[in-house]
């Protein structure tokens, strides 16, 4: 009989999963290419296909793109919060409620990619400018505990890759 994971075990498992997608890739390079990859996906697939839910209870490709937009807002804010305040609290976001509440599946996927591509360069410039001292600055995530900018940066890049992989798998499942 399997036992439920403790919050610490769940955090470690999440971090390990995300970091496995990144491997030894440069996080800044990954962050710099995600917008182009998303644009290619949207260019190559009709909007209705991107709004198709191939697996009940899972996001559509369009909702995944919307989630990546949300993460640009949230992680951009968190990075600035950590950079400018001492050990700030960072609240968790309920990603499913954000996706539903913003009706991402009703939106044009091209618009969502444009939004992502407008936000990412601002955040990427910030990530590129951080010194080793600044990367060591940390905040307190409400579920995952202490997180430094140096930990968040590769996790964000791995998160991009995880969701790009998810998009590929969803599109393969849509007939």
The average pLDDT across 124-149 equals: 96
Summary mean pLDDT of the chain = 95
| Strand order through the sheet with 145-148 | 89-90, 138-141, 145-148
Is residue 165 scored above 80 in pLDDT? yes
pTM recorded for the entire structure = 0.94
Comparison of pLDDT for 12 and 60, the residue scoring more: 60
Is residue 163 scored above 70 in pLDDT? yes
Residues 6+ away with beta carbon under 8 Å from 173? 54, 55
Q: Is 3.50.50.60 the CATH number for 30-173? A: no
pLDDT in tens, 82-112: 999 999 999 999 999 999 999 999 999 999 9
Select from 15, 175, 38 the least CA-distant residue to 112: 38
């Amino acid at each position: 009989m399997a036992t439920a994971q403790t919050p610490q075990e769940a955090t470690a498992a999440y971090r390990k999963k995300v970091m496995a997608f990144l491997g030894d890739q440069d996080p800044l390079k990954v962050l710099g290419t995600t917008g182009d990859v998303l644009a290619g996906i949207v260019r190559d697939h009709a909007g209705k296909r991107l709004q198709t839910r191939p697996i009940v209870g899972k996001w559509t490709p369009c909702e995944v793109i919307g989630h990546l937009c949300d993460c640009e807002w949230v992680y951009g804010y968190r990075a600035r919060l950590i950079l400018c305040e001492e050990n700030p609290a960072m609240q968790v976001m309920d990603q499913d409620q954000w996706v539903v509440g913003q009706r991402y599946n009703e939106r044009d996927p091209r618009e969502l990619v444009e939004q992502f591509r407008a936000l990412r360069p601002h955040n990427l410039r910030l990530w590129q400018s951080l010194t080793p001292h600044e990367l060591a600055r940390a905040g307190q995530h409400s579920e995952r505990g202490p997180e430094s900018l140096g930990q968040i940066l590769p996790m964000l890049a791995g998160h991009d890759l995880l969701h790009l992989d998810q998009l590929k798998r969803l599109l393969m499942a849509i007939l």
